[in-house]
Structure 1
Amino acid sequence: MNKVRWGIIGAGRIAHSFARDMQYAENAELVAVGARNGDSAAEFARQYAIEKSFTGYQALMLCEDVDAVYIATPHNFHCAQTIDALNAGKAVLCEKPLVISAVECTEVTALSRDKGVYLVEGMWTWFLPAIQQAKQWVDEGRIGRVRHIKADFGYPIPFSNSGREYDIRLAGGCLLDMGIYPIAIAQYFLGREPDELSVHSHLAPNGVEDDVVIVADYGRDAIATLATSFRCKLQNWAYIIGEEGYIAIPDFWRADRCSLYQLDECIDSFSDGRKGLGFEYEISAVSADILAGKKQSDVVTPEVSMAFQRVMERVKSQFSQR
């Protein structure tokens, strides 16, 4: 097998982004799509020249021509669909967040281990060359010891009881939808969970959080200020700040470049020159893992996914206290 044959579960916005970037991954091909609505699946397949389309998801998971599935459905479906795919013997790349609780994370990672089937959370940011370059600069000591991380991610999404982002039944709220990215970038550069958290949140009329600010104390004199919002567009940059300089990463969640500063002078920069939106790096890396017979990613490990869930649960536990 020279290429991993992928099937997509879901035909929404993120599935389109994944499908568009598949063409730039030399070790992967898209062969099937499944959606709740058969017409939507058929139209998706037509748009991307996909051979097979399915009404529903089970038939895709049982399809012998599919080696791996990308789960691109709302958050609350991730756990059950990941379990179904693993039980069907399909490698799984599940869009972030992998699941919606630490309990679910334990369940799916244990099943992956027991079945010997590959599973990884789709934290695509961690696979981006610009993010990895920034980490290399940090590891080389080019900004000295990291003291601060600043990161935020927010876009205005008007409140609607019928919108996915605000739907309690679909695990709505800005924390799982966007806030996981600032949490993940702090985890990536500091390599550990915060010792203490202070959270300020604002709730939409139905009680779903639509604005969250986190001050995370990581000990060892490192602190992170993180934010996410449905109420307004935030800057959406990340700053990794050390004793001797800092790294600026525009639109860090989909970063295509980064710059290294000493005081006010830019002394180094990087741009990836990508062809697609950036999903191709995740697709290529995960496909390489599957072709090599790996059972988990070395980039986004099960322990990393569990750390995301633990931190988000700690954040959510403070929503009612403010």
Structure 2
Amino acid sequence: MTDTIKWGIIGCGNVTEVKSGPGFQLAEGSELIAVMRRNGELAADYARRHEVRKWYDDADALIADPEVNAVYVATPPSTHKAYALAAAKAGKPVYVEKPMALHARECVDMIEACRDAGVPLFVAYYRRALPRFLKVKQLLEMGTIGDIRFVTTVHTKKLTEDPANLPWRVIPELSGGGHFFDLASHTLDLLDFLLGPIRDASGRASNQGKAYAAEDIVSGTYVFESGVQGTGLWCFTAYQGGEINEIVGSRGKLTFSTFGSEPIRLTTADGIGEYSLEQPKHIQQPLIQTIVNELLGKGNCSSTGVSALRTAKVMDELASMR
């Protein structure tokens, strides 16, 4: 068994600059040894700036590198399936960015390919490993708000896209949908982590702003296997941005943001308490460490293809415009 996981990154774009890339170098038992970008000059520049030994402009060449023993796919969702299947065929564990794929059917294909190849599949829902949300989970498990009854999410954002120069995140054939698939996926996966799987979801999506083809508003309801109920509203053409989650129980509630750094607020009959936890500089590093630990036989990662498939199914069900 190897004592170091030697990573290769496919797609070294913005998300890898601070959020993830350095985490592969800083995690214990981990090393980033190769990066790939279709533009070779940009791949070489990334490798130089991040002190990575090898760079490629061809994904197959990186996957075939005998030194690379795990692959991180950091491209838009439209290529996640193809690269994951190629890595699995080469017998190498795969870590893919979120959302896992364009839709749940592709997620199933990825899970089956990795299972047949005998390699693990992980997904970058990194909030599962952040101290901030581990604290929320601890407070829930301690019974600080009593029996959990329901959860609400409201997430709004101003319309800022230029129709003449749209980002890939709102082009469905590249991202799977709009901002809902990019942003709400984090919250829905986090709720799966905190409250357990969702067994049933129903929603409605539409395009109100007409700035791009994807949905720009989604609302829906869902029921967890535990019986906890939930509602969500995501609007990306509102007059201002904001985002909040509330988990309400029989003796209190927890209020927190998925994306912000505001303190977690606990409200009970005894008053209001707040918990402030600093986010790590390289925000994916804690999850990367759990992946490395699992690959080295020292632990388990909670964000797998199976858990991410559950989130993909819920998103597909909520965004019923499609």
TM-score > 0.5, shorter chain as reference: yes
- Mapped to 2, the partners of 1:142 and 1:288 lie a distance apart of 31
Aligned residue number for residue 111 of structure 1: 113
Aligned residue number for residue 238 of structure 1: 245
Aligned residue number for residue 127 of structure 2: 125
Is residue 2:172 matched to residue 1:168?
A: yes
Q: 1:244 to 1:274 in 2, by over 3 A?
A: same
Q: Secondary structure at the match of 1:89?
A: coil
Contact 1:4 1:68 in 2 (8 A): yes
Q: CA deviation at 1:78?
A: 0.5
Deviations 1:106-137 (A, max 9, x none): 11111111111121111111121221221121
Q: Secondary structure at the match of 1:236?
A: strand
Q: Which of 288, 296, 302 in structure 2 is aligned with 1:283?
A: 288
1:177-196 matches, within 5 Å, as 177-196=182-201
Q: Please tell me the root mean square deviation across aligned C-alpha atoms, in Å.
A: 2.5
Give me the TM-score of the superposition, normalised by structure 1: 0.87
Q: Secondary structure at the match of 1:149?
A: strand
Aligned residue number for residue 59 of structure 1: 61
Q: Which of 138, 141, 148 in structure 2 is aligned with 1:136?
A: 138
Q: 1:9 to 1:198 in 2, by over 3 A?
A: same
- Mapped to 1, the partners of 2:298 and 2:199 lie a distance apart of 34
- Mapped to 2, the partners of 1:64 and 1:201 lie a distance apart of 47
Structure 1 gaps of 5+ residues are none
Q: 1:110 to 1:219 in 2, by over 3 A?
A: closer
| Amino acid corresponding to residue 187 of structure 1 in structure 2 | D
Contact 1:35 1:54 in 2 (8 A): yes
Q: Secondary structure at the match of 1:228?
A: strand
Deviations 1:160-209 (A, max 9, x none): 35421222321341222112122223322331225342335335344311
Q: 1:91 to 1:154 in 2, by over 3 A?
A: farther
Aligned residue number for residue 74 of structure 2: 72
Q: Percent identity?
A: 25
Q: 1:207 to 1:118 in 2, by over 3 A?
A: same
Q: 1:121 to 1:287 in 2, by over 3 A?
A: same
- Mapped to 1, the partners of 2:310 and 2:79 lie a distance apart of 20
Contact 1:152 1:234 in 2 (8 A): no
Aligned residue number for residue 314 of structure 1: 317
Equivalences, count: 315
Q: Which of 305, 308, 311 in structure 1 is aligned with 2:308?
A: 305
Contact 2:255 2:264 in 1 (8 A): yes
Give me the TM-score of the superposition, normalised by structure 2: 0.87
- Mapped to 1, the partners of 2:181 and 2:56 lie a distance apart of 28
Structure 2 gaps of 5+ residues are none
Q: Which of 220, 226, 232 in structure 1 is aligned with 2:232?
A: 226
Is residue 2:89 matched to residue 1:87?
A: yes
Q: Secondary structure at the match of 1:79?
A: helix
Q: 1:277 to 1:245 in 2, by over 3 A?
A: farther
Q: 1:6 to 1:57 in 2, by over 3 A?
A: same
Contact 1:160 1:166 in 2 (8 A): no
Q: CA deviation at 1:101?
A: 2.0
Contact 1:158 1:230 in 2 (8 A): no
Deviations 1:29-83 (A, max 9, x none): 2111101111111111111111111012111111111121111101111111110
Q: CA deviation at 1:299?
A: 0.8
Q: CA deviation at 1:23?
A: 4.4
Contact 2:196 2:226 in 1 (8 A): no
| Amino acid corresponding to residue 13 of structure 1 in structure 2 | N
Q: 1:280 to 1:146 in 2, by over 3 A?
A: same
Q: Secondary structure at the match of 2:282?
A: coil
